[in-house]
Every structure is written in structure tokens, then in C-alpha cells.
Amino acid sequence: MHFKELEFTSQPPIDWVAPYAAKAAHSLETLSFPTKKDEDWRFTPLKTLTKHSFQSVNGEAKSVTEEHVQKYRLPESRESTLVLVNGAIREDLSSFSLDSSAITVKKLQEMTPSELEEAGFQSLVPVENDYFSVLHTATLTSGYYLHVHKGAKVEAPIHVLNIQTGGPTPYVSSFRLLIHVEQEAEATLIEEHVSLDDSVYLTIPVMETFVQKKGRLNHLRIQRENKSCFHISRPITSLEGTAEYHSYTIALGAHLFRNEPQIIQTGEEVDFTLDGLILIDGDQISDTHSVMDHRFSHGNSHQLHKVVVHGNAHSVFNGKIFVRQDAQIIDSFQENRNLLLSRDGIVYTKPQLEIFADDVQCSHGATIGDLDPDEVFYLQSRGMTEQKAKEVLTYAFALETIENIEVESVHTFLVDEVKAYTSRNVASRF
Amino acid sequence: MSEVMSDTDKLHEFIGEEYKYGFTTDVEYDDFPKGLNEDIIRQLSAIKNEPEWMLEFRLKAFRAWSEMEEPEWFNASYVKPVFDQIQYYSAPKSKPSLESLDELDPAIKETYDRLGIPLDEQERLAGVAVDAVFDSVSVFTSFKEKLADAGVIFCSISEAIQKYPELVKQYMGSVIPARDNFYSALNSAVFSDGSFTYVPKNTISPMELSTYFRINNMDSGQFERTLIIAEENSFVSYLEGCTAPMFDTNQLHAAVVELVALDGAEIKYSTIQNWYSGDENGVGGIYNFVTKRGLAKGNGSKISWTQLETGSAVTLKYPSVILQGDNSVGEFYSVAVTSKRQQADTGTKMIHLGKNTKSTIISKGISAGESQNSYRGLVKIGKNAENARNYSQCDSMLIGQTCGAHTFPYIESANPTGKIEHEATTSRVGEEQIFYLQQRGMSEQDAISMIVNGFVKEVLKELPMEFAIEANKLLDIKLEGSVG
């Protein structure tokens, strides 16, 4: 099967998702593949994606065992880890024993159509117009429904670990997380993407998240996959009045990482964060197209998106802030800082404010540049080598986004990842 | 404060429901049939007695235009112009060649008087040479001799084509090629007239050069062409200001302005644009689709754009600078005001190609009524632009709850030694601010006027003195009654 430019061999969809997948496959026939002529894809080449021929997978890759998973386990999530391999649920590797009166976890494939509908399945993700969202639905096999019940405060972070492993044939893997945080409930979700080898694959994870009144969700998204894969994700969040949502995305891997987070305010007095840290080198391409959509009065939003570029890497950022008419008293701040550290790297950024209400405080700032030579000199004058000074400054730049991460083990390994990145790349400049 | 107050006092004489400059003048016109084809272009070129190469330039542009598609990416919605309903040339019959103002057609003279352009006064008082474009053909050029003494050429582009063909041939289309975009191609095919300025080496223009544009004659689109060349180590400041009569049908204005600054030269280009913006219901008003670009070609050259955009129903305009020469500087200072149902999509492009190039962007947008105001900008640092530096600031102010403010800044860097900083804010005239000033005895309107003046001050101070005063008045008139 060809989905326009993308060559693709599909397997018959699994029962539960068949009606959705059929509809999506139908939409794909008329949808055009994104090109540089589309404003949203102007700076992101998909040539490296279309040269592969992909197969869809249903398999659970049985070869993956505890031995592989062990090193990714988080002590904080001993009783709340959900493991997927190539987008398929692996119950044998998962360990979930949290109090079911506080949180319930269901497999999407075990829910009836009416249950799915009631839980908001397919209600946030675009079902017709967005090529990759539709491709996701067409290739979807499984997913989880996380339901945090009214008033529950779930202490243990829920670790959703998506492991990729493949063979010589490039494959497509899609999975869905449907998340419901009820009134006055609180939870922390760690969504992590890793790969066990260098196989080429296209992963299209989609998250549909609903946070109800006075609910609160902390969402950590960690992407440290191999540098051959393509990762195109759509985390979409709907916030009722007085809800809180704080999202931190840390991305180090993938050949092409395209992230399109979207936060929609559906009631008054919400508070949300959408931070990101991207560290790329080699021929990596990282692209974040975010939307913060204020549709009701009284909203606070904050976005800090930091990028470090080395090698031939290529970074794109487009951060849209919408303040709709009648959405008064909005305080929204967006900051995009890019550290461009190599001759052959390139940074495109387009912060974008679209304001239709007058009683608002909205601002954005964007910078692109190298490390400040004065700062490097200052550290050198205190006895550091130039290399060490640059390492320290790059590390400090990256650290600002990690600081807010409260899960200790995650914080620790991210610090290590950042250190590894800086020493690897700063050293390469000498 | 007293300065603001006195401006506000002066303002009252301007206030009126109707567009003050909405009147037409009856002069006989040399009319062309509506629509556009190669014959029309040949005829236009023949009337203007143009050399063969000029006709070729036009025909080439026309062929390019015929194949191009009208762009639709703007953040504005409007009824597209019907290109075969436009009359591509109109000129007052028998171009007068005048020694003094007395010989001017009294009707035209009266138009100027009502517009408040005291041509004869300016000769003596302001030291400003005015090349007044009445519809499409220059009818009067003053101060020519004084400029000629300094070696500065300031004339209509038609005259330049006749007298200085080599200069025109060398530079026209060198900054904005005909194919650059849909409207520049159209302009290149049918431009009727415009201004030409040439400042020779080591020369500082002895006066500010100024062109007043005026759209007249129903359905005559205006296609001006301006070309300014500043030779090594020269300086020129150029002012452009516009008013237009009230009409019910949309009028297209697709001008092209090209600036070239050679080694050490500086061009300062200032604009006040106050064309008819349509009525409360968005009926009528000018379409202002202008292509403006400067080439800072030489080492250490500088190009500075300052604009106050208050008029037109739809404005699509991005005065840009290509920083080609090493150490060259580009500046863009803009205030764009929209009210009623106006739509403006305006900004700048700063393309850094040379080493140690610097650019500054200060843009202030004010939206009121049911208008939409967008800033769209591009800052690009090329691979070889070592130590390039850009600072951009784009602030928007909203007045009322039915307008919109948008920013679309494109920022690209391919050189790690480059430094780009961009910031943007959106805010409104705060109730507390107004209340505070009212407490001090100001009326609400004066308070708003003062706050707005403070908001745009950074830009207006870049305007030459006589323009700055006019600019303040215009702002006050535009925003009169927006808050309540």
C-alpha cells in the first residue's frame, strides 16, 4: 500500500480498532503528504523518511525480556510500570499494582466502542486533516487507558515505557495513551521512548489527555531513541476550568523528532507549563510545533523551549499561543533559547502570538547564538580550560529545563545524559 | 506633557466623521481602456516615449506576471482585485512643464492646498523639495536646481529613463527582480511613474527629499516605482507621505521601492501612509500591496526604514534590507495602527549575508475596532555572515475586545557566531493607567492619547521633525473614539 509518498505494507487491523482504522485509511487516500510547501513543514525535510519502505507490526517482539528492560526501570515506579514493545502491550514485563480505587488501567483493546467513546477516544486527535495523526490511527494496534479517579492523589509516578526493537526491515509502530484525570485528582506520568538497537522505524505515539476541574497532571516525556528512527508525536491535552497540567519534554534521540504538543483550555482559571529541552548533533532533525490555545478567561501558561545544536543538526521551533476572543485576563509567556554551537548546524524558530482579546499579558522571547565569549573567558580566568568552561556553560544552559523534574531517578539519568552530550560534543570542537 | 496636550488640542480641528481628504478633483484624464495585455503595455511605453530596453523590461515582467499566482498566505481576507477591471494608466492630459506654480492647473493647485501641502511655502520655509505625484505622472518638481548644484539627481522615473538611461538600466530590478513576487511583477510591467534619486560620491543631500503621493481618478490603480541610489559615502533622507480621496470601490496600490547603498552610504527612508481605509462596515478603502527593499551593498553601508502605517483597508508590506556588504547596518522602525475593519500584515526582512552586519527591528502595532494587525518578519543569518547581530522587538497593543494582534517572526541562523534576540509583548491600555491620568486632570481621550504616544515614541523619534508632528496628529485622529 502507498500512502502517497510513504511506502507502506499494512496488516489487517485488529478488531477493536478496525472501524477507526478503516476510516483513517480512507482519509489517507485523499490527504496529501506534507511537503515544504506546507507552512507547517517548511523547514523540515521528509526526504529521509520517504526513502524507506515501511511495514506495520503487530508482533510483541518476544525476544525482549526482563534483561533488556531492567536498566530502564525506575525505583519510584516499582508498582506502576507499563511496558510496550514496538507499540504493543507486554503484560509480562509490566508491573502495575496501584490501588484500583485511585487509578485504573485498561487496555484499549478490551474496551467496548461505547466505553472508548465515553473516555474521549479520538475526540482530541485530528481524524481527518493531519496526515500523521491519520496514519497513526490507520496503523494503531494497542494502547492504554489511564483513569485517575476523583480526588485520588497518586504518589507513585506512572512509568509508560515504550521500547523499540526491530530487524532489517523498517516498520511503523503506533500506540495511544488515553488519560483521564478526574476532579481534584493528581498524578505524574513518565512517558519514555527508548530503542534497543539501531533499527529504522517510524513511531507515531498519540496521547489524548483530559484533566478535569482542580485536577493536576505532571507529564514527563523522555525520548532517547536511536539516531536512525523517526518519531512523530501528538500529545494533545484538554484542560477543564481550574485544572493544572505541567509537561516537560526532553528529547535526545531520533533522526527526525517531530513533536506537536497541543494544550486546549476548555474552562476558566487553568495553569499549564509546556517546557522542552532538545539536545541534538550529527544529522539529527528536531522539530517542535506547539499550540497553547486559550479559549476561556483567566489562564496562566508558561513555555520554555531550549535547544542545543551541534554537528549538522537542524532545529525547528514554531510555538503558537492563541488567545481567543472573550478569553480575558490571560498571562502567557513563551521563551525559546537556541544554542547554535557548530558551523554546519542550523536553527529556525518562529514564535507566534495570535491575540484576539485585549486584557492580556502575552510575551515571547527568542534567541539564537553561541556561548557568550565573556562567560567562557571568565571561567578560564578562574582556572578552567576552555573546553571545561564550554562544557560547564552548555551543561548549565540545559539544566534549567531539567531542574523542575521532581522524580529523582529521572532527574539523575537526565543529568547524566546531558553531561554525556556536552562532553561528547564540546570535546569534538577541540 | 504640555506637548501632548497641545497636539491633542490641534487634533480637534481634524476630527470629523468623514475622511477629511475624501474629495476628488475634476481634471481631464488621458484614459486607457481597462484591463491588461501586451498591447496596453506597448501603448503605455510609447506614450512615455520609452527606449526599447524599457519596453522589453516591461514585457518580460508582464509575461512573468501572467504565469504567477496571486499569493494568499497573508493573515488577511479581502475581495481580490479584478485585474482586468483596472485601468493601468491615467495621466493628466498634456503634461505641463512649468517654471513656476502659477502655471499649474488651478484645480490641481487647489487639491494640494486642501491637502495642506504648501508647495510654494515649502520652497522657502521647510527646505524640502517636493516631487508631487498627482495620480501617475509627476506634475511638479521643485528645488531641482539647488539639488543639481550638489550633484543630486531627484526627478521622476520617466525623466530618469530619458536622461539617465544607464543608471536606471543598471539598478532597476537589481534589488527587486520583476519575478520577485506577484505584485512586483505587475508593477514592473505597468509602472506609470515614480521617483528617481541619485546621490553622487561623498555627497550629503542638501535637503530632505519628499514625495507626496495622491491617488485620484476612480479605478486607476497606482503603480509607482521608486529607485534611490546612494554612491560611496553619501547620505540621503527621503520622505514619502500619502493621502487619498474617499471612494467606494477598492483601489489597488502596488508600488515598488528599491534602494541601493554603496560603500559607506546611508539611506534613510520614512513613510507616513494614510490612505482611505474604508468605512465602518469595511466598504471601500485602498489595497496597499507594496514591495520595498534596500540593498546595503557596500562595506559599512546603512539602510533605515521608518514607517507609520495608519491607512488602507488592507496593507501587505515588508520593507526589507539585504545586508550584503561587510559591516552594513539595517534598521526598521514601524508603527502600524489599524481600526474599524482594517487589516494590516506588515513587518520586515533582514537578510544578513556580510560579516559584522547589524540589524535592529522595532515594531509597534496598535489594533482597535474590529481590525486585525499582524507583524510578520524574517531575520536570517547566512552561513558566511560572521558576527552578525540582530535585535528585534515587536510590541502590540490592543484597544477594545473585537480586534486582533498577531506576530509571525521567522528567525533563522546558520552561523554560530551570529546572535539573534527577539522579543514580543502584547498588552492593552490599562484601566489603572487611564484612571491614574484622569486623577491628574486629563480627559479619558487625552489619557489614552498620552499612553499611546508613549508606546510609539521609540519609533516616532526616528521620523524627521515635520513628519513626527503629523504622525502624532494622525495617531490621535485614528484612535479617536476607540475606547469607551
Provide the shortest C-alpha distance from residue A47 to chain B (in Å): 20
Q: Is residue B474 part of a domain?
A: yes
Nearest CB to A367; choose among B407, B420, B427 = B420
Chain B residues inside the 8 Å CB shell of A361:
425-427
Q: Which residue of B has its CA nearest to A341?
A: B416
Nearest CB to B417; choose among A338, A367, A370 = A370
- CA dist A325 to A92, A301, A386, B370, Å? 50, 17, 52, 11
A-side interface with B, Cβ within 8 Å?
Answer: 39, 43, 323, 325-326, 328, 338, 340-343, 345-370
Residue B148's contacts (CB-CB under 8 Å, 6 or more residues apart) are: none
Q: Is residue B44 part of a domain?
A: yes
Taking an 8 Å cut-off on Cβ atoms, the answer to whether A363 and B406 are in contact is no
What is the arithmetic mean of pLDDT over B275-287? 79
Q: Is residue B484 part of a domain?
A: no
pLDDT band at B248 (very low <50, low <70, confident <90, very high): very low
Mean pLDDT of chain A: 91
Q: Is residue B285 part of a domain?
A: yes
Say how many domains are in chain B.
Answer: 1
What's the confidence (pLDDT) of residue B484? Answer: 46
Residue A236's contacts (CB-CB under 8 Å, 6 or more residues apart) are: A124, A125, A206, A207, A208, A209, A261, A262, A263, A264
Grid cell in block for residue B168? 536606471
Q: Which residue has the higher pLDDT, B143 or B7?
A: B143
- Helix/strand/coil for A426: helix
Are B343 and B76 in contact, with CB atoms under 8 Å apart? yes
pLDDT digits (tens, 9 = 90+) for A193-248: 999 999 999 999 999 999 999 999 999 999 999 999 999 999 999 999 999 999 99
pLDDT digits (tens, 9 = 90+) for A118-160: 999 999 998 888 999 999 998 888 899 999 999 999 999 999 9
Other C-beta atoms lying within 10 Å of the C-beta of residue B84: 10
Domain hosting B475: range is 2-479
Nearest CB to A360; choose among B402, B422, B426 = B426
Chain B residues inside the 8 Å CB shell of A373:
none
The β-bridge relationship of strands A360-369 and B419-428 is antiparallel
pLDDT band at A257 (very low <50, low <70, confident <90, very high): very high
Q: Which of B343, B379, B413 to mutate to probe the A interface, most A CBs <10 Å? A: B413
Angle at B457 between CA B279 and CA A367, to 5 degrees: 100
Q: What is the ipTM of this complex?
A: 0.86
Q: Which residue has the higher pLDDT, B28 or B409?
A: B409
Tell me the one-letter amino acid at A71: K
> What is the percent of chain A with per-residue pLDDT over 90, rounded to a whole number?
72
pLDDT digits (tens, 9 = 90+) for A287-329: 999 999 999 999 999 999 999 999 999 999 999 999 998 888 8
What's the confidence (pLDDT) of residue B246? Answer: 44
Q: Is residue B396 part of a domain?
A: yes
Q: Is residue B368 part of a domain?
A: yes
Residue B312 — left, alpha, or beta (φ > 0 → left; ψ -120 to 50 → alpha)?
A: left
Nearest CB to A352; choose among B400, B407, B418 = B407
Q: Which pTM does this prediction carry?
A: 0.85
Q: Is the pLDDT of residue B482 over 70?
A: no
